[in-house]
């Protein structure tokens, strides 16, 4: 995808006929070659790097209308929603948090469709580049697509500008790409967990951008002490398809997120060791999968540091459940023995 763009490869109808599968996203455009404005937009899409071809479903009957024409990147056609064949439930537990040793991202691996476990071994955490992973929740298909789009855009930026886009910039780009789909059935809630390798691009002195805040240092006093350069170091940003973009220290997303917050809020501190942080994340996902019917099976764990991301072996939570049961019966047994001894002594 990215290579095609950077080479300026023109997708011709002949090519499309010979290789129909290779450009699935471009087939939509073949139906509507009449509007010059659209073609202009397609070209501008290639120049600016925004994948406009994804915005245009093949609907010959839909009439184009003025869809936020002020925005340079807006689609020229309203994307009509397709009715779902069965109810999709957004069952997931994903979480991410920042601590002294970097960023931890953890998620379960169950994909549910209504009451059915569609797949017990899905990857909900995807690396985008060496220092950024993204956890996904919401509709599986949408997440997969948007992760791929994001990876492509980040790679294109890197090739064009010879530096990595900052995590904040990545989140903003994703948020603006998702904005035209607000109000449709696109359901994507991603948490970008990454490490900014270099000092980010500073805006003009007029407004300092800090994920759309007024730019004053209004961080909570009890918040974590960040490294001296505010644009370097670990970052955690939540981006949602209804437009929310939040930077923070801990986020949990999905149907199991309240349960995960319950575990995280009690034990999360800045100066956890790496092992403690990993075990906290595992525990949070485990407790959430226990209570939430739509989360379960395994837990995936990624750790992002200045050196990049590293992945922990996928762990089955069934074993963890039995270990937990054993631990409980053991402590109950010990307490019984102690009280028996006290009663005797």
Q: Residue numbers of the site for another protein (CB under 8 A)? A: 65-68, 78, 175, 179, 182-183, 204, 206-207, 212-216, 218-221, 223, 238, 240, 242-246, 248, 251, 257-258, 261
**Active-site position among 27, 92, 191, 289:** 92
Long-range contacts of 209-215 (CB under 8 A, 24+ apart): 209/168, 210/168, 210/247, 211/168, 211/171, 211/172, 211/237, 211/245, 211/246, 211/247, 212/245
Is residue 92 annotated as a catalytic residue, yes or no?
A: yes
Q: Which is nearer to another protein, 159 or 223 (CB)?
A: 223
Distance separating alpha carbons of residues 90 and 67, to the nearest angstrom: 29
SS3 116: strand
Q: Do residues 192 and 237 touch, judged by C-beta distance below 8 A?
A: yes
Q: How far is the CB of 27 from another protein (least distance, A)?
A: 26
- DSSP 8-class letter at 193: E
Shortest reach from residue 155's CB to another protein, in Å: 25
Distance of closest approach, residue 239 Cβ to another protein, in angstroms: 10
* Burial environment of residue 244 by CB neighbours within 10 A (0 to 12, 13 to 18, 19 or more): exposed
Nearer to another protein, 242 or 338 (CB): 242
Q: Which is nearer to another protein, 204 or 228 (CB)?
A: 204
CB of 248 to another protein, least distance (A): 5
Of 182 and 328, the one with the shorter C-beta distance to another protein is 182
Q: What are the two backbone dihedrals, phi and then psi, of residue 285, each rounded to the nearest 5 degrees?
A: -65, -40
Of the pair 13, 183, the CB lying nearest another protein is at 183
Half-sphere exposure of 320 (CA within 13 A, CB side): 18
Q: How far is CA 39 from the centre of its chain?
A: 31
Output the smallest distance, CB 243 to another protein, in A.
1
Helix-helix angle 140-161:167-178, to 10 degrees: 130
| Residue entry with tokens 């929310």 | 244
Tokens of 197: 């390798």
Enumerate the active-site residues: 92
């Amino acid at each position: 995808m990215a290579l095609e763009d950077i080479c300026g490869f023109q997708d011709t109808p002949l090519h499309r006929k010979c290789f129909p599968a290779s450009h699935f996203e471009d087939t939509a455009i073949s139906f509507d070659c009449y509007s010059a404005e659209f073609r202009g937009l397609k070209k501008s899409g290639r120049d600016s790097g925004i994948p406009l071809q994804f915005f245009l479903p093949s609907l010959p009957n839909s009439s184009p209308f003025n869809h936020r024409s002020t925005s340079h990147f807006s689609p020229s056609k309203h994307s009509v929603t397709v009715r779902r064949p069965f109810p999709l439930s957004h069952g997931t537990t994903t979480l991410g948090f920042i601590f002294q040793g970097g960023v931890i991202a953890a998620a379960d691996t169950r994909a549910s469709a209504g009451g059915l476990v569609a797949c017990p071994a899905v990857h909900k955490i995807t690396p985008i580049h060496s220092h950024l992973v993204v956890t996904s929740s919401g509709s599986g298909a949408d997440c997969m697509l948007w992760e791929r789009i994001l990876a492509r855009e980040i790679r294109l930026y890197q090739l064009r500008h010879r530096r990595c886009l900052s995590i904040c910039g990545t989140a903003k780009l994703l948020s603006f790409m998702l904005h035209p789909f607000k109000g449709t059935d696109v359901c994507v809630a991603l948490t970008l967990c990454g490490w900014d390798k270099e000092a980010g691009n500073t805006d003009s002195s007029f407004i300092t951008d800090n994920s759309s805040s007024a730019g004053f240092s209004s961080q909570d006093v009890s918040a974590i002490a960040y490294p001296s350069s505010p644009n370097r170091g670990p970052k955690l940003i939540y981006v949602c398809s209804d437009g929310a973009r939040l930077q923070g220290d801990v986020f949990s997303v999905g149907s199991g997120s309240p349960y995960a917050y319950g575990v995280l809020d009690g034990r999360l501190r800045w100066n956890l060791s790496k092992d403690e942080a990993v075990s906290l994340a595992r525990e949070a996902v485990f407790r959430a999968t226990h209570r939430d019917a739509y989360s379960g099976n395994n837990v995936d764990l990624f750790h992002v540091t200045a050196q990049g991301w590293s992945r922990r072996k996928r762990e089955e939570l069934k074993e963890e459940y039995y270990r937990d049961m054993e631990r409980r019966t053991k402590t109950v047994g010990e307490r019984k023995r102690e009280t028996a001894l006290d009663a005797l002594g």
